[in-house]
């Protein structure tokens, strides 16, 4: 029986929590609850980063954890809550798939993700390589959430969850990206959220709804 150090067990527990939160987001229709789940996902990601930083003595991971705490746990959820109140969007109704079918597809995606991660984990030498499959599963589940929701707000939350999965995957496979890249990604996410906020208000002003199927009615005039 292989002995797993306590810190790595805690990292694996955080990874399992990220996966469970992804399933919770798939089944949730209340947008405010989705924001809380996203913030909790960010908190687990921050904790996993701190544990790996302590375990591996990779000092740049402490900076990554601080960025995650400030951006994904505090600022972005606060910004999303403000947008929800301003736009009065609290529920995502009429999903493309019902909850039962969505969860079954989610299970299939998880099995596929673990199969896909096996050769990647075999090439990795990091302590957290066993969680690469979970990282890929989180990414694919977030992508599934984006394509099965109609409301723009829910799709943006899915995009942010996908970014969490990408960050966790990079940390699991290589102990994180170079700091310049991480700062650039954080800035890109922040700018994207500000631009999407303006985009939301434009959709709401034009269609009096954030349902993206209204955009299909736009046709180029001859």
- Interval 93-130: pLDDT, tens: 566 778 888 899 999 999 999 998 888 777 776 766 77
Tokens representing 194? 């500000």
Tokens representing 83? 């947008």
Q: What is the pLDDT of residues 177-202, one digit of tens each?
A: 655 556 656 666 666 666 666 555 55
Q: What angle, rounded to 10 degrees, do the helices at 6-27 and 99-123 form?
A: 150
Tokens representing 169? 């995957």
The chain-wide mean pLDDT, for the chain, equals 78
Is residue 181 in some structural domain?
Answer: yes
Between the ranges 120-129, 132-141, 164-173, where is the mean pLDDT highest? Answer: 132-141
Nearest to 168 by CA among 70, 83, 47, 57: 47
Measured between alpha carbons, how far is 145 from 101 in angstroms, rounded to an integer?
Answer: 12
Q: How many domains does the chain have?
A: 1
Residue 51 has pLDDT above 80, yes or no: yes
Measured between alpha carbons, how far is 15 from 165 in angstroms, rounded to an integer?
Answer: 10
Confidence of residue 88 (pLDDT cuts 50, 70, 90): confident
- pTM reported for the whole predicted model: 0.81
Residue 219 has pLDDT above 60, yes or no: no
Measured between alpha carbons, how far is 27 from 149 in angstroms, rounded to an integer?
Answer: 11
Residue 174 near residue 125 (C-beta atoms within 8 A): no
The pLDDT value given to residue 116: 87
The pLDDT value given to residue 194: 63
The pLDDT value given to residue 218: 46
Is residue 215 in some structural domain?
Answer: no
Between the ranges 38-47, 98-107, 151-160, where is the mean pLDDT highest? Answer: 38-47
Confidence of residue 42 (pLDDT cuts 50, 70, 90): very high
Is residue 216 in some structural domain?
Answer: no
Tokens representing 22? 């992804």
Residue 152 has pLDDT above 90, yes or no: no
Domain containing residue 37: 6-90+99-210
DSSP character at residue 30: B
Tokens representing 171? 């940390």
Query: Percent of the chain having pLDDT more than 90?
Result: 20
Is residue 142 in some structural domain?
Answer: yes
Is residue 18 in some structural domain?
Answer: yes
DSSP character at residue 12: H
The pLDDT value given to residue 179: 55
The pLDDT value given to residue 205: 54
Is residue 64 in some structural domain?
Answer: yes
Is residue 53 in some structural domain?
Answer: yes
The pLDDT value given to residue 99: 81
What are the backbone dihedrals phi and psi of residue 94, each rounded to the nearest 5 degrees, phi first? Answer: 55, 60
Nearest to 53 by CA among 13, 18, 5, 11: 11
What are the backbone dihedrals phi and psi of residue 124, each rounded to the nearest 5 degrees, phi first? Answer: -85, 150
The pLDDT value given to residue 36: 94
Residue 68 near residue 165 (C-beta atoms within 8 A): no
Nearest to 90 by CA among 27, 21, 156, 35: 35
Q: What angle, rounded to 10 degrees, do the helices at 76-87 and 152-174 form?
A: 170
Conformational region of residue 88, where left means phi above 0, alpha means psi within -120 to 50, and beta covers everything else: left
């Amino acid at each position: 029986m292989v002995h797993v150090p306590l810190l790595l067990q805690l990292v694996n527990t955080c990874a399992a929590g990220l996966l469970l939160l992804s399933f919770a987001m798939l089944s949730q229709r209340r947008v405010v609850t989705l924001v809380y789940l996203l913030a909790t996902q960010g908190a687990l990601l921050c904790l996993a980063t701190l544990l790996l930083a302590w375990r591996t003595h990779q000092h740049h991971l402490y900076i990554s954890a601080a960025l995650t705490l400030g951006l994904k746990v505090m600022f972005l959820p606060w910004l999303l809550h403000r947008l929800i109140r301003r736009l009065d969007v609290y529920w995502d109704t009429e999903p493309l798939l019902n909850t039962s079918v969505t969860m079954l597809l989610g299970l299939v995606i998880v099995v596929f993700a673990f199969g896909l991660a096996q050769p990647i984990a075999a090439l990795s030498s990091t302590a957290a390589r066993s969680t690469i499959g979970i990282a890929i599963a989180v990414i694919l589940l977030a992508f599934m959430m984006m394509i099965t929701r109609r409301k723009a707000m829910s799709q943006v939350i899915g995009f942010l969850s996908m970014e969490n999965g990408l960050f966790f995957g990079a940390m699991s496979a290589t102990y994180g990206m170079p700091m310049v890249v991480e700062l650039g990604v954080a800035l890109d996410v922040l700018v994207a959220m500000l631009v999407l906020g303006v985009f939301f208000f434009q959709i709401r002003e034009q269609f009096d709804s954030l349902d993206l199927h209204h955009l299909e009615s736009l046709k180029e005039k001859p």
